[in-house]
Amino acid sequence: MKGPLCDELVLAIYPTPRGFAYALFEAPLSPVDWGTREFLGKDKNARTLGAIARLCKAARPETLVIEDGVTASSKRSQRVQRLLGLIGAMAEVEDISLVRYSRKTIRETFHHPAITRQEIAQAIATYIPALSDRLPPMRKLWQSEDPRLWIFDAASLALTHFARVTDDEPP
């Protein structure tokens, strides 16, 4: 990760099978808040979208960053793809700048096209000590995914945005 510090409040949202994870950054290596929200039962998208809208109203981010879940290479479920579309529509209504990044772009930002989500999480924990205690251990084949990893997925979206914005700006 390189480039000067940006002065922009960025909220990254990562939809999960159980709800969503988020990471709020005021600068590339300065997280303000992070966490997960889980919703069970019916109307998961409606409840998730409501919680994201409340989070946006409370945090007032300038930019909302989400995964580009509609690319051909995306493995996101149809429910999550619909949710990503709903988040985009909500951002437009709330007049929040929306940016989407593919998993491929995120991996390239961390300088390796085949890097795993766990390796990206480990890199983020190294760069941002505040998140290091949230880093889950390496998953064994028979274990399900640790929900703490989703926080790092959200953080990777925000860090990708900061890296892309600073790379695009002239020196």
Nearest-angstrom CA–CA distance, 167 and 171: 9
Assigned domain for 121 exists = yes
Assigned domain for 110 exists = yes
Place of tokens 């945005």: 161
* pTM summary value: 0.88
Assigned domain for 60 exists = yes
CATH number of the CATH domain containing 73: 3.30.420.10
Residue-level pLDDT, tens digit, the chain, 171 residues: 444 445 689 999 999 989 999 999 999 889 999 999 999 888 999 999 999 999 999 999 999 999 987 665 667 888 888 999 999 999 999 999 999 998 889 888 888 766 888 899 999 999 899 998 888 888 888 877 888 899 999 999 999 999 988 755 433
Assigned domain for 2 exists = no
Nearest-angstrom CA–CA distance, 155 and 133: 14
Q: What is the total residue count of the chain? A: 171
Element (H or E) spanning 76, and its range? none
Report how many domains make up the chain. 1
